[in-house]
Structure formats: structure tokens, C-alpha cells
Amino acid sequence: MNAKDARIAIDAMGGDLAPDEVVTGACCAAAQLGFSLILVGDEKRIEPLIAASKASASVRVVHAPEEVAMHEAPAGAVRRGSATSMGRTVELVRDGEADAAFSAGNSGAFLAISTIRLRTLPGIARAAFATAWPARKGPMLLLDSGANVDCKPEWLVQFAIMGCAYARGVLNVAAPKVGLLSVGEEEEKGNALTAAAFPLLRAAPIDFIGNVEGRDLLLGDADVIVCDGFVGNVALKLVEASSEYLFDNVRARSKDNARARIGALLMRPALRKVKAMLDYREYGGAPLLGVRGICLIGHGRADSFAVVSACRAALAAVSHDVLGSIARAFAAQP
């Protein structure tokens, strides 16, 4: 699909910095990338922000007066449905009025609403959040990153197949290599889940390279790494905190003495590149793979830069027909 024909629905009220940063980023992305933008939320708050951004008249606003709170129980958000900006955003995809949806709001609610409103594709038991990581060899995709804290072995195979389709279409990895996150590279290492999943992954129609360890999340050869959502979410939050911890310490130590300040000044260009590489905002959002629609969830702190990145990822997923690729891969399974 051509970018000009794509329609992306944005939950304008979702996230800690909504609606200001979300609307600003969405309008900027639409101007840069050329897709049709649908902003969902309280029109009285959204429309002045659109005017301030000097967006084109093609931006469509869908009024949804209620918000899903960041700590609201998913069941409550599902019950309120289209009255909420998040629920209405997903329903636009379900009803064929949008090709992709993005929210930086409550991830549990987004998971529940997307799964119930859209349902999973045939052959897929559970949808999974897929998170792109800035690994040494290039972008690496980790899934599940938090949708399913307990998993069955066969679900990890499904995650791997979905991850490969997304890596090819959005991350431009021609032949993705898949690793199983464990506590050692040897086949016998791991827990009951990894032990049962290993032979299933080896028999799957993927390039499975075996077990990988925690260090391989950043330093390994795998393009797609699968694990249960409990481990994946812990790993994700650890890496996010590690990058903040590193650069906070660099700033703090550079204030201690003149030599440190000079060294930090000389290293600033290199440090900026490293910081940009580790910045979660570069990838913008994590796709919820497995549902019948392109849906991405953003970080709760997503600013306008992150929203632009998320729109870029959503547009790539639509343009490369990632949804169709996943459906065809499972339709070909015996």
C-alpha cells in the first residue's frame, strides 16, 4: 500500500504527555510521511492542538470523550468500549476505517481491547508484544515483551514465526535468525518451558540458531529472540534503565573535576550517537502481533519524537503487508 493511501488512527489521549505531545507528533508524522491521520479523543482538546501544529485540513478527528487511565483494570476499559479514545481507536481498525492503530496508554487495556475487538488470526493462540532492540549487529526483535507472563511451548513457535514476518517487513532483515532466550547455549540448559520449546522451534519453518543468553540480547547474532512475557518484560525494563543509569553517571562524574568535564566534552559527539542508538523513542512503539490488525503500543512517556517513530513503524507494517505475511505463514502450516 502506498503511504498516501494508508490511514493511521492515533489514541490522542493515551500516555503521560497526551494530548499535547501525541497530537504534535502525529501531525508532524503525517506531514513527513504523507499518510491520512485520524486523531481519536476529546475534540475540544484536540482541535486547538491541530491548529497550533499547522496541520493540513486532511486530519480527521473522531470524538471519544473518555480516557483509559494508566492504572485502570483492562476489564473496565473493555466494558467502556468506544466511549474511550483507546477503544474507539482500535474499533476504527476493526471496522475498516483505519489501517493501523497506535496508543501510548495503558498497555494491559490496549492488549485486552485489541484482542477482544479484533481477535487473533487463525492458528494463533496468543498475541504478543514485539519490542525492537538496538543490538550490536542491528535491530533485534524480542517477543513476548509482556503480553503473556506464562506461556505454552507452542506459543513460542508462533511468536517466532510472527517475529520473522515483522523483522523482514519493518526492520529490513532479509533472513531473520531466531534464538530462544535461556540460561545457557546448550540445548539441555533452561527450564521446563525452554526445554519443551527447543525441539518445536527446531522443527519450525524458521532459521533457528538455538538457545541464546541474556548478553545476546545486545551482543548476539539472533534477529528475533523469543521468551515468555514475564522474562521479556523484565529484560526490557532492565535495558531501558541501564541506558539511563549509564548516561546519568556520565553527566554526574563529568561535574566532579575539570579533567572529567574536558573528557566528556571531547566525547560528546560519540556519546550522543550511542545515546540515540539506545533511545527507545527511535522505535516508537511495540507491535501487538497476532491480532487481525496492525496495532502498536508506545511507552507511557512517549513524546512527539516517539510518536513520529511509531507512525513510521506502523506505516512500514501496513506498506509491507505484515499482517498478510503472518496470516499466510500460519495458513501454510500443516
pLDDT tens column, 222-262: 999 999 999 999 988 887 777 777 767 767 666 766 666 66
Q: What angle do CA 26, 28, 98 make, to 5 degrees?
A: 40
pLDDT in tens, 33-77: 999 999 999 999 999 999 888 776 579 999 999 999 889 898 888
Task: For residues 137 and 117, state if they share a domain.
Answer: no
pLDDT above 90 coverage of the chain, percent: 62
**DSSP per residue, 67-80:** ---TT--HHHHHHH
- Cell 540515540 maps to which residue? 276
Strands (E), the chain: 7-11, 36-41, 60-63, 100-103, 128-129, 131-135, 138-143, 177-181, 207-212, 224-226, 285-289, 294-298
The mean pLDDT of 132-154, rounded to a whole number, is: 90
Residue 141 corresponds to which cell in the numbers above? 526483535
Task: For residues 95 and 152, state if they share a domain.
Answer: no
CA atoms within a 13 Å half-sphere pointing along the CA-CB vector of 228: 17
For 14, the domain range is 1-124+290-320
Task: For residues 112 and 145, state if they share a domain.
Answer: no
pLDDT above 70 coverage of the chain, percent: 87
Task: For residues 100 and 197, state if they share a domain.
Answer: no
Cβ-based burial of 50 (10 A; exposed 0-12, middle 13-18, buried ≥19): buried
User: Which residue in 173, 205, 172 sits closest to 329, CA to CA?
Assistant: 205
Task: For residues 142 and 274, state if they share a domain.
Answer: yes
Phi and psi (nearest 5°) for 138?
135, -175
Task: For residues 252 and 118, state if they share a domain.
Answer: no
CATH of the domain at 310: 3.40.718.10
For the chain, what is the domain count?
Answer: 2
